[in-house]
């Protein structure tokens, strides 16, 4: 409005000068505030059985909108291919293994098996995607935990004695065979990491340089938010809200495995979904493990393996898996950190946890 009367402004009588001044300054203010700075676009949707959130900074709106659609389709495709208990390319593999037959593995599933074999070995078997039958026995192949109780010791023991391992699988090209028909693949501790990685790559190939792909709380962050790094809040494992934060650098993935994600309670005991492949029971003494790594698949598998390893043994497993930045919260509420993680984590609560820093040197 003010811009339509510039001539009158300069010729205005003194009595009008107050209004002129106010109008001019407000106009400048509005122009300043509305300056064209790079924008951040966010999109949330449900996919992969969880809440997915894509954050994009500094790209054109049209490109960001396209990226959201691409991410949505990618996650839907992967969810259908990798589902562990609804008919999928993965369940076809499991059916063949159980029947003692070899199978030509679908191209969507093959890289998961190849990478998971190597990671499982490096984790000393603590990340073991071959224990699908055990996961099913505990009832974690469904979202409905009402009235659930732990399975009997005998049934757990029977599955553990069969010793399903990724080493039982042999790949010749895409042809898979197993020496152990009790292997059932469940990539619950790896698929999200690998999938987040693929989606982020896809968006980057579209020309997006600054982005975060977050699926169910695990994320890969690339680039930065303008002239500052991406800021990631880490949710408190027992209370509402954030208790710590980190800033990412370049291309990093932040993954947390916690006993609060999927669990049921029976007779005042919490039975969560992170099973120790050695005992067949939910791993004890750990509440959560947060891992930062350049590879989201490694971060995902390591968060599970270190959770299972527990407060005493995690440093050796972290080293074997090539993971530097780790924070483990034990069942006493203490934080165990690598020196590199301690240097970058900021605790955001008034009473930060007692911290134990493990220095490898």
The contact set with other proteins (CB under 8 A) reads 14, 17-19, 21-22, 25-26, 28-30, 32-33, 44-46, 49-51, 53, 55, 143-146, 212, 214, 217-219, 221, 225, 230-235, 237, 240, 242, 245, 254-256, 258, 261-262, 290
Judged by CB, which is closer to other proteins: 233, or 352?
233
Residue 183: partners with Cβ closer than 8 Å, 6 or more residues away: 97, 130, 132, 164, 165, 166, 168, 169
Burial 303-334 (b: 16+ CB within 10 A, else e): bbbbbbbbbeebbebbebbebebbbbbbeeee
- To other proteins, the closest distance from the beta carbon of 269 in angstroms equals 18
Place of tokens 């934060």: 245
Judged by CB, which is closer to other proteins: 120, or 214?
214
Alpha-carbon gap, residue 43 to 66, rounded angstroms: 11
- To other proteins, the closest distance from the beta carbon of 32 in angstroms equals 7
- To other proteins, the closest distance from the beta carbon of 245 in angstroms equals 6
Q: Please, are residues 234 and 244 in contact by the beta-carbon 8 Å criterion?
A: yes
Judged by CB, which is closer to other proteins: 159, or 221?
221
Judged by CB, which is closer to other proteins: 124, or 236?
236
Check residue 242 and give left, alpha or beta (phi > 0: left; psi -120 to 50: alpha).
beta
- To other proteins, the closest distance from the beta carbon of 120 in angstroms equals 24
Place of tokens 């169910």: 216
- To other proteins, the closest distance from the beta carbon of 58 in angstroms equals 13
CA angle 242, 248, 252 (to 5 degrees): 110
Judged by CB, which is closer to other proteins: 145, or 281?
145
Given the DSSP bridges, would you call strands 335-338 and 355-358 parallel, antiparallel or unpaired? parallel
Judged by CB, which is closer to other proteins: 133, or 220?
220
- To other proteins, the closest distance from the beta carbon of 3 in angstroms equals 17
- To other proteins, the closest distance from the beta carbon of 285 in angstroms equals 20
Judged by CB, which is closer to other proteins: 19, or 266?
19
Alpha-carbon gap, residue 98 to 102, rounded angstroms: 10
Alpha-carbon gap, residue 231 to 194, rounded angstroms: 22
């Amino acid at each position: 409005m003010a811009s339509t009367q510039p001539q009158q402004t300069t010729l205005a009588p003194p009595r009008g000068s107050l209004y002129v001044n106010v109008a001019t300054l407000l106009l400048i203010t509005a122009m300043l505030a509305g300056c064209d700075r790079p924008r951040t676009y966010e999109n949330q949707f449900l996919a992969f059985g969880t809440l997915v959130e894509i954050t994009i900074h500094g790209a054109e709106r049209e490109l960001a909108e396209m990226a959201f659609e691409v991410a949505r389709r990618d996650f839907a495709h992967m969810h259908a291919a990798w589902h562990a208990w609804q008919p999928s390319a993965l369940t076809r593999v499991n059916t063949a293994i159980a029947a003692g037959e070899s199978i030509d593995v679908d191209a969507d599933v093959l890289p998961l098996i190849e990478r998971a074999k190597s990671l499982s070995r490096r984790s000393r078997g603590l990340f073991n995607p071959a224990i699908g039958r055990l996961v099913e026995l505990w009832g974690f192949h469904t979202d409905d935990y009402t009235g659930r109780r732990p399975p009997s010791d005998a049934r757990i023991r029977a599955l553990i004695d069969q010793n399903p391992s990724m080493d039982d699988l042999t790949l010749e090209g895409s042809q898979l065979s197993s020496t152990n028909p009790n292997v059932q693949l469940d990539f619950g501790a790896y698929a999200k990491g690998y999938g987040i990685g693929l989606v982020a790559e896809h968006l980057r190939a579209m020309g997006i340089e600054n982005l975060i792909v977050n699926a169910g709380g695990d994320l890969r962050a690339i680039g930065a938010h303008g002239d500052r790094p991406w800021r990631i809040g880490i949710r408190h494992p027992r209370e509402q809200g954030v208790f710590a934060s980190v800033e990412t650098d370049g291309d990093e993935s932040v993954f947390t495995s916690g006993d609060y994600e999927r669990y049921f309670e029976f007779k005042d005991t919490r039975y969560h979904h992170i099973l120790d492949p050695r005992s067949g029971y939910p791993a004890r003494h750990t509440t959560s493990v947060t891992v930062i790594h350049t590879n989201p698949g490694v971060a995902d598998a390591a968060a599970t393996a270190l959770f299972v390893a527990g407060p005493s043994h995690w440093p050796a497993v972290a080293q074997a898996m090539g993971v530097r930045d780790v924070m483990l919260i034990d069942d006493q509420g203490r934080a165990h950190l690598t020196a590199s993680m301690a240097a970058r984590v900021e605790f955001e609560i008034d009473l930060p946890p007692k911290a134990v820093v493990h220095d490898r040197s």
